[in-house]
Amino acid sequence: MREKPKAPETLISAEAQAFAEAARRGVLVLRECLDCGDVHHYPRAHCPLCASRNLGWREASGQGRVYSFTRMAGRRAVAPAMIDLDEGLRLNSVVLDADVHQLAIDDAVTVRFQPDPQGQLRLAFTTPGAEAARAYSARAFAAVDADREGFAAGSAPAEVTTVAVVGAGNMGIGIATAFLKAGFAVLLLDQNADAFDRARARIAETFDRDVQRGRLGADAAAARMAALETATDMTRLADADLVVEAVWEDMALKQQVFADLDRHARPGVCLCTNTSTLDIDAIAAATGRPDRVVGLHFFNPAHVMKLLEVVRGKATSDQTLALATQVGMRLGKVPVVVGNAHGFVGNRLMIAREQEAGRMLLEGALPAQIDAVLTRFGMPMGTFEMQDMAGGIELSYRARQARGEKSPVIDRLFAAGRLGQKTGKGYYRYEPGKQRPLNDPEATAIIEAASAAEGITRRAISDAEIEDRLILPMINEGAKLLAEGIATRAGDIDVVWQTGFGWPEWKGGPMYHADRLGVAEVHRRLTALAEAHGARFTPAPLLAEKAAQGATFTDSESA
**At residue 296, does pLDDT exceed 60?**
yes
| Residue 279 burial (10 A CB sphere; 0-12, 13-18, 19+) | middle
Instruction: Please report which confidence band the pLDDT of residue 256 belongs to, taking 50, 70 and 90 as the band edges.
Output: very high
535 Cβ partners below 8 Å, 6+ apart? none
CB neighbours of residue 320 within 10 Å: 25
Three-state DSSP state, 26: coil
pTM to 2 decimal places: 0.91
Query: Across the chain, what does the average pLDDT equal?
Result: 93
Distances 116 to 11, 69, 113, 126 between C-alpha atoms, Å: 16, 21, 10, 16
**At residue 26, does pLDDT exceed 80?**
yes
Report the C-alpha gap between 471 and 522 in whole angstroms: 10
Report the C-alpha gap between 493 and 309 in whole angstroms: 11
What average pLDDT score do residues 155-176 get? 90
483 Cβ partners below 8 Å, 6+ apart? 540, 541, 542
Beta strands in 312-424 (DSSP E): 334-338
What does residue 521 show for φ and ψ, rounded to 5 degrees?
-70, -40
CB neighbours of residue 36 within 10 Å: 12
Comparing 57 with 510, the larger pLDDT belongs to 510
Lowest-pLDDT range of 360-364, 404-408, 449-453, 519-523 = 404-408
Residue 296's DSSP bridge partners are 310
Domains of the chain: 1-60 (no CATH), 63-126 (2.40.50), 157-338 (3.40.50.720), 380-453 (1.10.1040.10), 463-549 (1.10.1040.50)
Please report the DSSP string for 492-513 in residue order.
Answer: HHHHHHHHHH---GGG--HHHH
Report the C-alpha gap between 89 and 60 in whole angstroms: 10
Instruction: Please report which confidence band the pLDDT of residue 6 belongs to, taking 50, 70 and 90 as the band edges.
Output: very low
Comparing 152 with 302, the larger pLDDT belongs to 302
**At residue 1, does pLDDT exceed 60?**
no
Most confident range, picked from 17-26, 45-54, 485-494: 485-494
Beta strands in 159-276 (DSSP E): 162-166, 185-189, 228-231, 242-245, 270-273
Model confidence over 405-461: pLDDT tens digits? 889 999 999 999 999 999 999 999 999 989 999 999 999 999 999 999 999 999 999
Amino acid at 63: Q
> What pLDDT was estimated at residue 154?
61
Percent of the chain residues past pLDDT 90, beyond the cut: 83
Three-state DSSP state, 98: coil
